[in-house]
Structure 1
Amino acid sequence: MDDAKPTGYRVIGDANVDKIRLRILAVNLEQSLDKHRTFSPDVARLAEYAPLKDAMRRAEEQMIDLPEELGNLGYWLFETELSGPDFVGLIDCLIKFDQCLKGWRVIEE
């Protein structure tokens, strides 16, 4: 189902949020959620998770200046079917977005 392969990347702590990179990651995450939401009720619920929707919207509008925490991602990553092999690309997008939102620089390798 998921043809995207996770890319190698590192994260480096930073005091600010890279608004442009965060916007790109939000768009990528939104596209991945849209691609998978019809295949999984868990993805459909994650796509409607209010803190994530709000952070993605604000990231796309470049309204986030300081690092933020999404919270409760452990549930989505470990307690739902998103931890399965069909959603590797989606999880990759989610983790990159979350790390960038926290003020970490995501460096593709």
Structure 2
Amino acid sequence: MDTNPVFRRRQNHNNTPESVILIITNVIVFIVATEVFANCTKISNVYWFVLGALGVYNFFNIRKYREDYGKAQYIAYVVSIIVLIAMFFLLRSRAQNC
């Protein structure tokens, strides 16, 4: 029987901040949607729907966990959105088989 509480401290790994989970979710959904729905010459309407749904998810997630977001988390979120916009242009400009 172990009486040391160190190993019982992180049950279910709930110590990841919500802001980090939100940024990781944004990056994964954005990259997958860009690769699948944004072709060489045309951007599908489904792509804009996915990004709109992601925006709604971001709004409600930030609103739900408002007390967890400080100045540093907001700055990291804004920087991640700027990086996603830059990634959009980078992924659309690279050579593709059209």
Q: TM-score range by the shorter chain?
A: 0.3 to 0.5
* Higher relative contact order, chain-length normalized (CA < 8 Å, sep 6+): 1
Q: Per residue, is there more helix in 1 or in 2?
A: 2
Larger Rg: 2
Q: Which has the higher strand share?
A: 1
